[in-house]
Amino acid sequence: MALEAAFAKMNGLGNAIIVADMRGRTDRVTPEAARALNADPATRFDQIMAIHDPRVAGTHNYIEILNSDGSQAQACGNGTRCVVQALAAETGEKVFTFQTVAGILNAEEHEDGLISVDMGKPRFGWQDIPLAEEFCDTRMIELQAGPIDAPVLHSPSVASMGNPHAIFWVERDVNVYDLERFGPLLENHPIFPERANISIAQVTAENALNLRTWERGAGLTLACGSAACAAAVSAARTGRTGRHVTVTVPGGPLDILWREDDHVIMTGPAEWEFSGRFDPATGAWERETEGAA
């Protein structure tokens, strides 16, 4: 069994990431390998960011993203920051352009070590998110969890940041809601034909909100960058905040700026944990000797 591909176990504000180096290879990380890696506590992750050779001129790499259940994800802002940090350490470059299934992403590592990712433009059309039925106004749709006469969560804003998001606005602490119970039900609700990321958001100031997310295909996470972006633009779109906010997720704060050109810029940290090698077909792996526990 050949452990041919290098990987780094990293995190973006606790969002567990595996950055897999698939450059120079023609194979892909299989869903079976993803599930095997996630089953091991040492390599448990929210997303795999598989770095492939570029497919489009003018880009550094093509990035394939897998969730912990082996399904494909369209976007992962925290994972993109991890990719930038890994490649910047290797190459000395600071500015990168990546292609993903959701489109082109531009990113930059700053002198202070923080990394900004241009997450692109949000989409609000019901067919773009997508939803299974037409809603003229996606700032608030008819959807609820809990008893019909006293729903615990209701009337979310919905948006796409390359992947579908539903944001439920609450007045109380986001931690008092049983997202582990409601998340799977709402993720798989028939209104979301491609499933959805489910977030609970509490606005705490004109420029701040707290957020917890049940991530599609991954479950509860300490941080979801695209969810932070979706919550920020939805908060501004509904008049709850301005266009530049701090989104505090369980792993820490993210700076989100919804620019006047409609692009959403997310800035935050990334952290290396350990490196190793793995088999992209099976998920068998070994840790590099240096830094071994």
- Residues annotated as catalytic are 76, 224
Q: Are 116 and 265 in contact (CB under 8 A)?
A: yes
Torsion angles phi and psi, residue 51, rounded to 5: -85, 115
Question: How far is 38 from 54, CA to CA, in rounded Å?
Answer: 27
HEC per residue, 156-221:
CEEEECCCEEEEEECCCCHHHCCHHHHHHHHHCCCCCCCCCEEEEEEEEECCEEEEEEEECCCEEE
Nearest by Cα to 164 from 210, 116, 118, 213: 213
